[in-house]
Amino acid sequence: MTRGRFAPSPSGRMHLGNIYSAVLSYLSAKSRGGEWIIRIEDLDRQRCKRVYADQVIDDLTWLGLVSDDEIIYQSDRDGIYQRELDRLKSCGLTYECFCKRADIIAAARAPHESDGKVVYNGRCRTLTDAERETKRREREPSTRIIVDDKEVCFTDGHYGEQRCNLSRDCGDFIVQRADGNFAYQIAVVVDDAMQGVSEIVRGRDLLDSTHQQIYLYEKLGYPTPQFSHLPLLMSGETGHRLAKRDQGTDMGYLREKYTPEGLIGHVLCLAGVIDRDEEIKRTDAVSVFNWDSISKNDIVVRY
């Protein structure tokens, strides 16, 4: 059975872009007769607050989107991430990194070679035990995973075939930060695998991260789910991806302007699934939903 999910980071009130991902992930799973769950991704203890998480759940409940399983909080799960990280460590796949971000940027290849992304050059991979010992006295290390020099390939359910050589385009990446917090990349993989998620629907901004995640799925021995990415909602005013700071799109405003059926209809109309911006019942939305009518180009929203 399909199991989809929505995994918001509660760093503020949700906006139209979050709701769009929530609704479409829900409809995709339900249209296949599947389940859909909510997971709160509050690893970043500075930015994420419990009150925002409560509000996220309240806003989703208002829309009629209810999790088919207990809602888990990543901030409760350090022990599980540690256990899985230890498995990677015991296979010799990780190493301590003492580099500062500024040094990594300075040492990176010319940005155009990696599409603007900073590629880590693996400097700390070859430190001797004695060098590591000395560096540990100066600063706490982060932990990186060693990547292979071969292509990671997958077929996105919406954007088709994707390939990336992690060694060339990303470099060894961080799985645990120097402050002890686990990186999004490992937490999301461990949770999706342990929660039996088989379909991941989310914004196209995370398409690039998917290669790192698939690499972790392989190294941890989990089955890889189906990934389907969505075009982004772009603000007509700023030309950027819709963000929490864009006025007039946060859930406080949207709940005043729309009924739950009206907001689901609005999202489906923006996505191109229905032609008219009008109320639609959740159950009817499940029946009309189909991926073929969703555009591949990003969608401009004007308010």
Binding site for ligand GLU (CB under 6 A): 7-9, 41, 188, 202, 206
| Parallel/antiparallel/unpaired status of strands 94-97 and 72-73 | unpaired
* CB 112, min distance to ligand GLU, A: 27
* CB 155, min distance to ligand GLU, A: 18
Of 277, 212, 262, 267, the residue nearest 242 (C-alpha)? 267
Distance spanning both ends of the chain, measured CA to CA: 39
Please, which residue, 58 or 131, has the CB nearer to ligand GLU?
58
* CB 139, min distance to ligand GLU, A: 28
> Given the structure tokens 């010799």, which residue do they identify?
92
Please, which residue, 80 or 206, has the CB nearer to ligand GLU?
206
Residue 277 C-alpha from the chain's centroid = 28
Cβ distance 28 to 201 under 8 Å?
Answer: yes
| Parallel/antiparallel/unpaired status of strands 142-145 and 173-176 | antiparallel
Residue 166 CA to residue 209 CA, distance in Å, equals 10
Stretch (H or E) spanning 226:
strand 226-230
In eight-state DSSP terms, residue 275 is S
In eight-state DSSP terms, residue 108 is S
* CB 198, min distance to ligand GLU, A: 14
Phi-psi region of 221 (alpha: psi -120 to 50; beta: other; left: phi over 0): left
Enumerate the β-bridge partners of residue 300.
Answer: 234
Please, which residue, 169 or 199, has the CB nearer to ligand GLU?
199
Structure tokens at 227: 């990934």
Query: What does each C-alpha distance from 41 to 10, 13, 152, 173, 265 come to in angstroms?
Result: 7, 14, 25, 20, 27
Please, which residue, 44 or 277, has the CB nearer to ligand GLU?
44
Please, which residue, 75 or 121, has the CB nearer to ligand GLU?
75
Please, which residue, 206 or 300, has the CB nearer to ligand GLU?
206
Please, which residue, 176 or 228, has the CB nearer to ligand GLU?
228
